[in-house]
Structure 1
Amino acid sequence: MRPMRKAPLVLVLSAATLAAPSIAASSATAVPRSSGTSTLVRTDKGLVRGAHLHRHRLFQGIPFAAPPLGALRFRPPQDARPWTGVRDATFPRNRCAQIAQDWGGTSSFSEDCLYLSVTAPDRPPHRRKRKLPVMVWVHGGGNVIGAGSDYNTSKLAVNGDVVVVSVNYRLGALGWLAHPGLEAGPDRHLQAGNYGLLDQQAALRWVRRNIAAFGGDAHNVTLFGESAGSADTCANIASPTAAGLFHKAIAQSYGCAAVTRAEASAEASAVTVAKKVGCTVEVARCLRTVPTKRLMEAFNEVEVMPYAVAGGDRVMPRQPRAAIESGRFNRVPLMHGNTLDEMRLFVGFLYPKPITVAEYERVIRESFGRHADRVLAHYPAAKYPEPRLALATVFSHGGNVLSTCDHVTALDVFRRAGVPVYGYQFADRTAPPLIDVPGYDEGAEHGTELTYLFPGLIGELKGPQRRLSNDMTGYWTSFAHTGRPGAHHAPHWPRYRSARDVLTLAPGRGGIRPTDVAEASNCALWGTIDPILP
């Protein structure tokens, strides 16, 4: 993400929207190797030995597909090879290739990265009367950085009595480059650019084949993800090739009715990347030989938007909203929501120092053109402690894929489609921030709900925050069990029928309650303003 002060802020946020979660992910510590009692499990490719930790078993670095190297670069994931003996699954393997960004991350240039981790309560499967629900986590990080092993999934597994699987998938150019020259040979009918999405589906197929050996129920799988992981969850909901691979979904901080990349624009940007690395003839062969670092640098320089491509084939034949409205989607119960102050993260990053009222109004006019006067009338700078908070509020309410009003639109689309849907908004303005900007109130910014589900990811929780964390863990895992979120001693979560049914999640007495988020976010106004972001 590069600050582009002269460009409309909404365009800057367009490039940054999916990137923030990796700030959290990069600051997390992967679960270390354990000297505890190891456990042995047989998968369809061979034996793995994991670790027995506090009240749970952890298996890391299990291959769910072959390393996508050489001729397998820019190919759908292929079957992993069987191994002999016992594979050590007590530590994570490689992160998928990625370049650290200004806002965080850890560089890696390994393409041998298609691994997953499994966390299960410590009772072995043969001592249980029934299989446990499975939750499959798709990490955020803009689809350019991050790893499944960055997240401590033990609280969900232990407190919620579920098996949790966290996955790696190809990132950046290697996962999302859509050059038409790659649509050749056995892939001639496959839209290029959806390799990361296909990796996630391969991981779900691994779950279907193997999760019973870890105590999980292959017929009760919940797919969930945040930010870019939410965008990918939404794409899998719309993807025919994901049919039957999951039975519930949770999409956190990315509106499922948002427009994803179209075939023509995705391919045009990929052609630019190919030219940048000198691939103009025999493009597929050339792209498979370009050094990883150079390829990924070129992808970043062109500022390709790395998410699913719609319209080219059966993986993603239509835009997500069109798929849902036509009834041609994976009809599963859904939890869907965002944070109260999504855009404070991005505004704080772009403007670490205070801005003037004049600068605020300039950005609004550059971003909304003929609608700017109406936006400024509803969001005058004088109404807020400082202009940066006014700016963040505008974009948290409407005009982009993270906004509350975009999430209300998605909730309404699913409701009309007839699937059970539950809306939420995380609203703890005292939550540990992803980036601590001096003199700036980060509030419930993008990604702050993550540490309530994955302990230690972003700072430590205190007092009522820990109770909120327990309630959220209960809601998330009960949904995995039954398709209806409900936590012990926590308020009832109503099924979504209107924006008044969205459940606010905040600490303290009365902090969890249904709220009319459409009214609070001026969605009547935003429904009349032309969309700005793709």
Structure 2
Amino acid sequence: MARRLLAVIAGGCLTMTAGVAQAAARPHAETKPQPSIVKLDSGRIRGSDDGTVTTYSGIPFAQPPVGKLRWKEPVRVAPWQGVAEATKPGRPCTQVEGGKQVGGEDCLFLDLTAPAKASRKPLPVMVWLHGGGFLTGYGSMYNARRMAEQGEVIVVTPNYRLGPFGYLALPGLPGSGTFGLADQLEALKWVQRNAAAFGGDPGNVTLIGQSAGGISTCALLTSPAARGLIDKAVMQSGTCTLNWPAGTYIPVPDMPSMTPYPSLKTSRDFSLAAAKQLGCAAGKELDCLRAKPVAELMKVHESFGLNLAYGTPLLPLEPAQALRTGKFLRVPVISGGTRSEGNGYVAGTAQAGIRVTAENYPTLMKNAFGEQADKVLREYPLTDFSSPGLAWATVSSDRGWACPTLEGDEAMAAHTTVYAYEFADAKAPNIFETPSEFPLGAQHASDLPYLFDLDGRPWDGLTSEQWRLAEQMIGYWTSFAHTGRPRAEGAPAWPAFKPSGQTVLSLKPAGQGGIGPDDLGKRHRCGFWSGLGD
């Protein structure tokens, strides 16, 4: 039950679905694209230039991982003759959207957006890893025209394998548990070989990701295979130290404690159980699964959410431990999350028929915190909140998201420069259109419309103050890509995070106090949580 619900919530709360984005989109004037041809190491492509940005869509960066290449490390894309059209997005990786299977295995494509006119070259490259719990999402959902034009950067948005195709782990199978991560590395290698063809600087690459993409970004900082591929990193609502006590990721009775990074053994156990579910005999799982059609494998898709394995060649160490011991790429980092990360999950679970009530609130506490439950109940009494759902969402946001993120920031700041933030727009758009008995505020993923045009359209309904915040956030992010120091016109200076401090930059519109410092530890009661122990 918990795993099935995780898949539902991940599909709705970790990434934006095409239908919702289109329903909420603001139309804008269409422009007639002009052809733009670039020569890659694999062949020539023709993109589109509308006078503002140049876009290249559906570029293959690896061979299709099908047939004998299913559950293999990605293989460099084969060269082609002539000029390939790069004007339409490539196929998403296989996933479930709106209850239906979409995409396909032949999905290792990326899109690239560059300013049509830039005042300086070469330009920094920002590689965006999408979210979706390793179950949903695709690069072309995130139109980067505002980021590319305003910030004068090149933005690359790749796909990577999802679900069982990206994270299967079996005894004796090379690459087990990390095929999706290997795809991300292959996209970074493609950037090294081809950035210059677009006017980009392969020596100035910023890896940026949100949710599962942020979790992947942090993991890659701990991977020996990423050396020389990443010069800076941005992690949004995803870091190596995230962990959720039982029921705090989504509030269901059988949801266990979780981290995004299971051990290879745990990942193998999940995979062997999934193979058995599909009727594969013990010891013959790989051949059996390779013979299965995609639709059959999708029956176990949800088992592979948040299932990026460590103890592997790509991730030798548990990423959280790597951060704590300083064994990671010491590049400048922006790291943060949204203030009310847990709100959308609790509201989404209620929509699925599982509500937090005054009656089950103590049980959730007991399941999550055991003998410490009474202390947490006293710290988060129902009388302090407008509803039991909001109370549990606050526990989730504080203990499951904000305080682990703060811990990760402190660990990284002991070895490199970190710029810490919290997206705190209390009136951020409800991008999933989730009904809720309490205000959703800055829920998980509500920062995305400020940086990207989701499914190609600016978000309808943002106020002028929110659009100003969007411009400032893009300014911070892209100036960081240029120089390693985030700055934005008309916005406050962003000081580096100090390991001994807990002050971060709060990002909110002017009408809510504007951008400024905030004590993250105090706001999310991290002193209480660290004193509570595990």
Fold match, TM over 0.5?
A: yes
Indicate which of 419, 432, 435 corresponds to 2:433. Answer: 435
Give 3-state SS (helix, strand or coil) of 2:111's partner.
strand
Matched, 1:449 2:447: yes
Partner of 2:131: 140
SS for the counterpart of 1:425 is: strand
Deviations along 1:483-506, one digit per CA (max 9) or x if unpaired, are: 111101101111000444311001
- Separation (CA, whole Å) in 1 of partners of 2:527 and 2:139: 38
Match of 2:344 in 1: 345
The more displaced of 166-175 and 93-102 is 93-102
CA distance in structure 2 between the partners assigned to 1:13 and 1:272 by the alignment:
17
C-alpha separation between the residues in 2 aligned to 1:522 and 1:469?
Answer: 28
Q: Give, as a single letter, the amino acid of the residue that structure 2 aligns with 1:110.
A: G
Q: Where does 1:26-425 land on structure 2 (aligned, <5 Å)?
A: 27-28=20-21, 35-100=32-97, 107-123=101-117, 129-183=120-174, 191-258=175-242, 259=259, 260-280=261-281, 281-300=283-302, 303-313=303-313, 315-352=314-351, 355-398=356-399, 400=400, 403-416=401-414, 418-425=415-422
Q: Please state how far the C-alpha of 1:317 moved relative to its aligned partner.
A: 0.4
For residues 278-311 of structure 1, what are the alpha-carbon distances to aligned partners after superposition, in whole Å with 9 as ceiling and x for unaligned?
32243322221211121121242xx234432111
Separation of aligned partners in 2, 1:90 and 1:226:
26
> Distance in 2 between the 1:312 and 1:500 partners?
33
Aligned to 1:7: none
**1:527 is aligned to 2:513:** no
* SS of match in other structure, 1:309: coil
Task: Give identity over the alignment, percent.
Answer: 39
- State the partner residue of 1:9: none
Corresponding letter in the other structure for 1:294: E
Worse-matched range after superposition: 339-348 or 27-36: 27-36
Change (3 A) 1:269 1:355: closer
Farther off after superposition, 55-64 or 288-297: 288-297
What is the distance in 2 between the residues matched to 1:459 and 1:440? 22
- Amino acid in the other structure paired with 1:351: A
Partners of 1:356 and 1:424 lie apart in 2 by 32
- SS at 2:15 equivalent: helix
> Residue 122 of structure 2 aligns to which amino acid in structure 1?
K
Q: 2:330 touches 2:416 (CA, 8 Å); kept in 1?
A: yes
Deviation at residue 467 of structure 1 after TM alignment? 0.7
Distance (whole Å) between structure 2 residues aligned to residue 25 and residue 229 of structure 1: 18
> What letter matches 2:435 in structure 1?
V
TM-score (norm 1): 0.89
Query: Quick one: structure 1 residues 68 and 17, their matched pair in 2 at CA, closer, same or farther if it must change by over 3 Å?
Result: closer
TM-score under structure 2 length normalisation: 0.89
Q: How many residues align?
A: 504
Give the letter for the 2:448 counterpart.
Answer: L
* Cα distance in 1, alignment partners of residues 214 and 46 from structure 2: 31
Shift of residue 513, structure 1, vs aligned partner: 0.7
Which digits, 9 at most, give the CA deviation of each residue in 1:306-364, with x for residues without a partner?
A: 43211132x11001122233333211110000111000001101124875423333322
- Match status 1:507 vs 2:509: yes
Q: Give ranges in structure 2 of 5+ residues lacking alignment.
A: 243-258
* Closer, same or farther: CA 3–308 of 1 in aligned 2, 3 Å: closer
Write the letter of the residue equivalent to 1:321: A
5+ long unaligned stretches in structure 1:
5-11, 184-190
Q: Residue 89 of structure 1: CA displacement?
A: 0.5
Q: Which 10-residue stretch deviates more, 247-256 or 199-208?
A: 247-256
Q: 1:278 & 1:457 partners in 2: Cα distance?
A: 46
SS at match of 1:347: helix
Deviation at 1:147, TM superposition (A): 0.7
Question: Which amino acid is 1:130 matched to?
Answer: K
Q: After TM superposition, give the deviation of residue 530 of structure 1 in Å.
A: 4.5
AA in 2 matched with 1:393: T
Q: Structure 1: which 4+ aligned runs deviate by more than 4 Å?
A: 1-4, 12-19, 29-34, 456-459
Structure 1 vs Structure 2 CA RMSD: 2.4
Q: Secondary structure at the match of 1:77?
A: coil
Deviations 1:95-136 (CA, angstroms, capped at 9, x unpaired): 11112366xxx6325111000000000028xxx652001100
Q: 1:379 Cα deviation (Å)?
A: 0.9
CA gap of 1:486–1:528, structure 2 versus 1, over 3 A, is: same
Query: For 2:507 and 2:480, how far apart are their aligned partners in 1?
Result: 16
| CA distance in 2 between partners of 1:101 and 1:233 (Å) | 27
Aligned amino acid, residue 284 of structure 1: L
Mapped partners of 1:529, 1:197: distance in 2: 34
SS of 2:97's partner is coil
**Separation of aligned partners in 1, 2:213 and 2:20:** 18
Deviates more, 1:364-373 or 1:510-519: 364-373
Counterpart Cα distance in 2 of 1:272 and 1:34: 51
After the TM superposition, which of the residue ranges 30-39 and 339-348 deviates more from structure 2? 30-39
Q: Could you say if the C-alpha distance between residues 342 and 290 of structure 1 is closer, same or farther in structure 2, counting changes exceeding 3 Å?
A: same
- CA deviations over 1:445-503 (Å, ceiling 9, x no partner): 00000000013475431121011001101011011011111101101111000444311
Q: Distance in 2 between matches of 1:499 and 1:267?
A: 40
Partner Cα distance (2:441, 2:70) in 1: 41
